[in-house]
Chains A and B, each alone.
Chain A
C-alpha cells in the first residue's frame, strides 16, 4: 500500500494550525500559530490582535507545515479541515483555504468535526490504540464523554449543562488572581495545597446521567472567597486551587468510569486541553487501572487545538468514504456524529 498523506487545517477558535500526517498516524509536521515564531513572515510587524488574524496567518502556517514535513503541495493526497463547531468567521478562513487547495490541486476534501479531531489525537500518540473506547474530551469550550464505537461512529454519553471544565479552571484562576490561562496555573498552585481543605460541591445528576455542571462549583468558590473576606480571614490560594481542582476531577473521573462500565469497554482515553491536567491524568489512571481499564492520553501539544489531530481524523473519515464537495460550509453549532 502506498502512503496516504493528509494536509490538516484547523482554525476553529484562537489557533491557526496546519499539519502533515502520513497514513493517519505519523506526524510529519504540526505548525500551531501561537507556538512558532512567525514574526519574520510579517516582515517584523506583528499585528496587535494576531490571535484572531487567521487570514494573515493561514498561508504562512500552511507553507511552514509543508516545509517542515519536506513535502510539496502536489504530494498531498487529501485535504482535511475543521468545519465545526467554532466561530464562524474563524472556521471560514481554514475552510476557504482548504477548499482552494483541494480545488487547485484536484485532491479530495474531507470535513472534520473539531471534537473528533481531539479524540483522534490519541491515535497519534498511541499507534496501537484502536476503538472501541470511552473518551473524555475536556477543554475550554467542551466537556463531553464520548463512546468511540469505531473510527467514524460516536455517541455522546454526557456533557456539561453550563460551563466547560477548562472554562471553570480559567474563571477560578481569575477569581483567585492567578491569571491566564487558568488550567496550568491552578494545577501548579494546587500542588502546594490541601485538596481536602474546603468541601466544595460535586454536582451529580443521578444514576443514569453522565452530565456535568461546573457553574455551581464556580459560585461556591466565589461565595467562599467572599465569606473569608467578610470575616477578614486570609485565603489560602493553594488550598482553594487544590480543593476546587479535586472537585472538578472527581466528577470527571466518576462519570468517565461510569460510561466505561456501561459500555463494557477495556480502554479509556483523555483529550482536549484539560487532559494535560496532572491530577486528572493521575487519578483517572490509578482509579481506572484498578478496574483493569487501559488509560491513554496525548502529550500536551496534541491536547491543544492543533491540525495534526484534524489530519488524523480526516484520514479515518477518508478511509470510510467521506468526501466533501466545494459547497462544504462552516457549521458553528455542529454536533458530534452529525454529517
Chain B
C-alpha cells in the first residue's frame, strides 16, 4: 500500500497521472472518497496519462462517461446505483472485459460485483493540515497490480 499527501488539487491530479502512466487495458481503479475530495480531479490525472484531450467532467448524472485516448477510459460514478444488479443492465461487464481502463467512483455501492483484483484508491481530507490537503492511499490488490506497486516504488 502506498500513502501520499497532497496539498493542492494540482498535486492530486499529478498523482492520478502517475498512476495512469502504469495502466493497461482491462485495469480497474476504484476511487473511494467523500463528496468534494477530488475524485474527478484524480481521474483527470489518469486521463492525461492515457492521452485523453479535453476535460473529464463528472459522470454523476450519466453513470458512465467514455473517452478515447491511448486506451479508452470508462469513467463511472455509481452513487445513484441502488442495487448492483442495475450495473449488469447498463453493460458493466462489457466495460470491465473491454479494451480500456475502468475508473469507478463510489465503488462501495457495488462492492458485491467488483473483481477481487483491483486498484483501490482512497482520498481523504486532512482538514487539520489545510482545506486543500488530501491523504491518498493506493492499494494494489492481486498479482498483476502488485507489479505496478513495484514500478511505483521503482
Contact = CB atoms under 8 A, between A and B. Distances in A.
A161 B57 contact: yes
Contact of A171 (B55, B60, B65, B66): B60
B66 A174 contact: no
A167 interface: yes
Contact of A86 (B56, B60, B62, B127): B62
B55 A162 contact: yes
B129 interface: no
A131 interface: no
A263 interface: no
Given A219-B36, A333-B66, A87 B61 contact: no
Contacts of B55: 160-162
A202 interface: no
B57 to A, nearest CB: 6
A222 B62 contact: no
Contact of A163 (B60, B64, B67): B60
A56 to B, nearest CB: 11
Interface string A41-76: 000000011001100000000000000000000000
A201 interface: no
A218 B36 contact: yes
Contacts of B89: 49, 52-53, 89
Contacts of B36: 171, 215, 218-219, 222
A87 B40 contact: no
Contacts of A226: 127
A13 interface: yes
B35 interface: yes
A92 B58 CA distance: 22
Q: Is the contact region of chain B dominated by helix, strand, or loop, or is it mixed?
A: loop
Contacts of A89: 89-91
Contacts of A215: 36, 40-41, 58
Given A174-B35, A222-B35, A333-B67, A160 B86 contact: no
Interface residues of B, number: 26
A108 interface: no
Interface string B63-99: 1111110000000000000110110011100000000
B82 A164 contact: no
B131 interface: yes
Contacts of B63: 87
Contacts of A332: 64-66
Contacts of A87: 62-64, 90
A223 interface: yes
Interface in A28-51: 48-49
Interface string A324-336: 0000000011000
A90 B53 CA distance: 26
Contact of B82 (A49, A85, A139, A333): A49
Interface centre among B36, B83, B85, B89 (most CB of A within 10 A): B36
A5 to B, nearest CB: 31
Nearest to A180: B80
A191 interface: no
Most chain B beta-carbon neighbours within 10 Å: one of A48, A141, A166, A174: A141
A87 B35 CA distance: 23
Contact of B61 (A141, A162, A222, A223): A141
Contacts of B56: 162
Given A48-B83, A171-B35, A13 B57 contact: no
A170 interface: yes
Nearest to B83: A49
Those 9 A-B pairs whose CB atoms lie nearest each other, nearest first: A140-B61, A141-B61, A222-B36, A219-B36, A161-B55, A89-B90, A163-B58, A89-B91, A141-B62
Given A87-B64, A141-B61, 7 more contacts: A49-B89, A87-B63, A89-B89, A161-B57, A162-B57, A230-B127, A332-B66
